[in-house]
Amino acid sequence: MANNEENKTLHPETIIVTGAAGFIGSCMVRYLNKHGYENLILVDKFIKDEKLKNWKHKKYRYEVDRDLLFEWLERNNLSVDFVIHLGARTDTTEFDYTVHEVLNLEYSQDVWNYCTANNVPLIYASSAATYGAGELGYEDDHDVIKDLKPLNPYGVSKNEFDKWAVQQINQPPFWTGLKFFNVYGPNEYHKGRMASVIFHSFNQIHKNGGVKLFKSHKEEFKDGEQLRDFIYVKDVVKVMYWMMKQIMNKEWAKEKNEIYNIGTGKARTFNDLVKATFAAADRPANIVYIDMPEDIRNTYQYYTEASIHKLHKAGYDKPFYSLEDGVDDYVRNYLSAGKIW
């Protein structure tokens, strides 16, 4: 776990990051390391060899099996300063709700209760999947949460925890829930079918020179013109770090303890996304449209766009990567180079 960053101020705070071997979790650990946080407790199921490179070269103090976390914390009597809860079952094609319920709802409740009992600030990951088909829009308004209709069990489990969280009288001293929109970027190679369209497009480009996109099965959308709010993972971790620092520096009023959308606020088409991938790979665009698999056809989101007014009102004013710039950085510096972050 060598560290090549010189003249870095090391911070003593102990921070738990769940899902630390996964996509966003490992990127968050990288970003914390970059800013001098190395007294980290990484939590995950560290059993998948394909995830090993996501975390093995990071700087941290402990790695703890997810199922043993609370017993481990009690046994070691550690003082924890912050929890960033990113661990989740994220497979939107898993339709057995009980699979999602155990980790996305019940485990998250355990994390919340630990933070409440021990006076530890908490950031946790929710999802734009909670918005379903967007019948009620994409406003991160607590009053709407109870009426949302997610399209799959993953989204339901995330929304059930959001509903539970906002009803709690007993809360962590400071907390935020973050509804991530379509996150892409390095360290997602292990996600298989759930990896971003960019990841799959890059591999298809190098295999056969073309990319397959789903046809539209709604008249109001042309093929490839389905719209999503794509956000680069480097922006996601930057927002979380900003929130963490605001809370640690006591610049975060308790009135800001809310659920926030994390997106760019600008929907783009899958055609735009894939064309940017071709450009970053220095290849001419070659897109073929195929039928959408029937198992996801009825639960497919055709449009998402984050309302980020609340995030701006809370004080976050940094610009986000444009789609083209984010894809270019991802493809050239990570996918083409065979590197993680």
Q: Which of 53, 149, 163, 191 is catalytic?
A: 191
Active site residue 191: yes
In degrees and rounded to multiples of 5, residue 210 shows phi and psi of -135, 170
Structure token pair of residue 183: 């996150």
Buried b (16+ CB within 10 A) or exposed e, 44-78: bebeeeebeebbeebbbeebbebeebeeebeeeeb
Q: Are 85 and 104 in contact (CB under 8 A)?
A: no
In sequence order, the β-bridge partners of residue 231 are: 183
Task: Compute the CA torsion angle 279, 281, 284, 289 (nearest 10 deg).
Answer: -90
Active site residue 222: no
Structure token pair of residue 261: 């959308």
Cβ-based neighbours of 338, under 8 Å, separated by 6 or more? none
In sequence order, the β-bridge partners of residue 124 are: 85, 177
DSSP 154-222: HHHHHHHHHHHHHH-SS--SSEEEEEE-EEE-TT-GGGGGGS-HHHHHHHHHHHHS-EEEEPP-STTS-
Order of all β-strands in the sheet with 122-127: 62-65, 40-44, 15-18, 82-85, 122-127, 175-180, 259-262
Q: Are 218 and 138 in contact (CB under 8 A)?
A: no
Q: Are 273 and 231 in contact (CB under 8 A)?
A: no
Q: Which of 31, 37, 131, 154 is catalytic?
A: 154
Task: Compute the CA torsion angle 53, 49, 184, 263 (nearest 10 deg).
Answer: -100
Q: Go through the chain and tell me how many residues it has.
A: 341
3-state secondary structure of 85: strand
Positions marked catalytic: 154, 191
